[in-house]
Structure 1
Amino acid sequence: MIEESHAFEVFLDVQSGLPRQGPGDARSTLNALALCRGLPARPTVLDIGCGPGLQTLALAGALEGKITAVDLFQDYLDALADRAEAVGHGDRIEILAGDMTSLPFPDESFDLLWAEGSAYIMGFEAAFRGWRRLLKPVGCIAVTELTWLRPDPPHEAAAFFRTEYPAMTDVETNLATIEACGYDLLGHFTLPDAAWWDDYYAPLEAKLPALRQRYAGDTEALAVVETTAREIDVRRRFGKSYGYEFFVARKAG
């Protein structure tokens, strides 16, 4: 059995230094933003689980309002701070270390909530329910979620995600959940395959040989590395059966 604390340290090492901590790209971020109808000229935005913040910067480039970016891990926040300063958005992005399950903001603080690849940590339904109080009336929310795209996924892919993400479901179920949580759907779409590779899996896969060498002889650590390698392999072979879906909705009255 992998020791939880050691496994988590190794996981963070595996993920360190990457452009993103999950699938995504600037075009998809902007396409989702275009679905957010009715935003004010200078919206208040909360990016939840921002990681190193490539999507935060895309939002800052497209919007004139203030963005608050929250993540649990300071290393990611430091990377975002450096990137924001480098492109001249440092004064418009407030960076905050915090837990998405207990966000320290008053009710109805934000016009737009953003969560790319992070809501699964809290749980898709729990996130939509728990974060709803933060939205102003008719405020918008945009979330990406790992989702089955076909009803009969290959056995190997299904077996992998039964272990790695057992809560994973299909688009229709997620749409029903969004409505049940008190939102009106504005649109949804599947991230392109390139959004998995260019800023995430390609640089992650390039790290694997060095990680195997670093943890040679450490069975527990190598198990984490090899799970990552298997995840990439599953995507390469079975990627048409699942994807990241962008869901965009508005707080219902």
Structure 2
Amino acid sequence: MFFEIHKDIPREGPGNNESTRRAFHMLTDLTVHPHVLDVGCGPGMQTKELANLTDGTITALDRHAPFLQKLDAWIAENGLTKKIKTVQGDMFDLPFEEQSMDLIWSEGAIYIIGFERGLRGWRKLLKPRGYLVLVVSELTWLKEERPSEIEAFWMENYPGIKSAVANEGIAEHAGYQLINHFTLPEAGWWEYYRPLEQRVEMLREQFPGQVNMLDALDETQREIELYKKYSAYYGYTFYILQRQDRE
């Protein structure tokens, strides 16, 4: 049901090209021709933007073949087969050699493996002084005190949500230095939610008697409505992190 609900929308999570560019331009000493790994690329909106930003090569990984097929079609249409390749794989067991990546990028996907586990597990793939750039998908609390309704919702649906300070501490203990961070603007959420809301309405008409699907659609719509009410209290955060090695 998740993939049916999220089918044919441009993004699989909140984000926008402006924020992708902003994060990339914070990488002040990235090599000229980096090897970039985009983990959980989905249909590849940020992958396409990264192709505009770097002279390096990009490996885009996702477990869902239909996402990769759409991205492959776009790559072929734009003559980028030498610059971008797709790999169907699992972020829990990335099929790449240690210290083979200059940059790991993950927008809206690390929640699948968990922030701390992702940082620790992916670190070995980075070359020394390589970058790991990601959007924290366990979300980030933006205020210390929150209304009980939104706190209860995220404690039920993603209890790993933490503050920026807590996430920065996790990153440091996992072997990274924080270079910078910023909160995704609300416009980035609506680039995701508006097409999703339209799809929810379409699927209600398509599956009028399927209780499980209707329940999933109700939950999706509830998430959107809660963001309308409580966007000041939580958001996605870009954390720009650099691998640190003790001497």
TM-score (structure 1 length as normaliser): 0.94
Distance 1:190 1:80 in 2: 27
SS at match of 1:112: strand
Taking only aligned residues, the RMSD between alpha carbons, in angstroms, comes to 1.0
Contact 1:57/1:89 (CA < 8 Å) preserved in 2?
no
Q: Does 1:139 align with 2:130?
A: yes
Q: Of 213, 233, 243, which aligns to 1:241? A: 233
1-side partners of 2:18 and 2:79: how far apart?
A: 20
Q: Does 1:202 align with 2:215?
A: no
The corresponding residue for 2:144 is 151
Name the structure 1 match of 2:208: 216
Task: Tell me which protein shows more helix as a share of its residues.
Answer: 1
The alpha-carbon deviation at position 210 of structure 1 amounts to 1.7
Displacement after TM superposition at 1:82 (Å): 2.0
Counterpart for residue 188 of structure 1: 181
Task: Supply the AA of the counterpart residue of 2:24.
Answer: L
Per-residue deviation, residues 27-59 of structure 1 (Å, max 9, x unmatched): 101111112232111000000000011111111
Distance 1:164 1:78 in 2: 30
Correspondence 1:18 to 2:4: no
Distance 1:159 1:246 in 2: 24
Q: Please tell me the residue identity of whatever aligns with 1:52.
A: P
TM-score by length of 2: 0.96
Within-5 A mapping of 1:76-225: 76-145=67-136, 146-198=139-191, 200-225=192-217
| 4+ residue segments displaced more than 6 Å | none
Q: How many residues align?
A: 243
Equivalent AA in structure 2 for residue 252 of structure 1: Q
Report the secondary structure of 2:160's partner residue: coil
Aligned to 1:4: none
C-alpha contact 1:49 1:118 (8 A) present in aligned 2: yes
> Structure 1, unaligned stretches of length 5 or more?
1-9
CA distance in 2, matches of 1:246, 1:224: 28
Q: Which runs of 5+ in 2 are unaligned?
A: none
1:46 to 20, 31, 37: 37
Identity of aligned residues (%): 40
CA deviation after TM superposition for structure 1 residue 152, in Å? 1.1
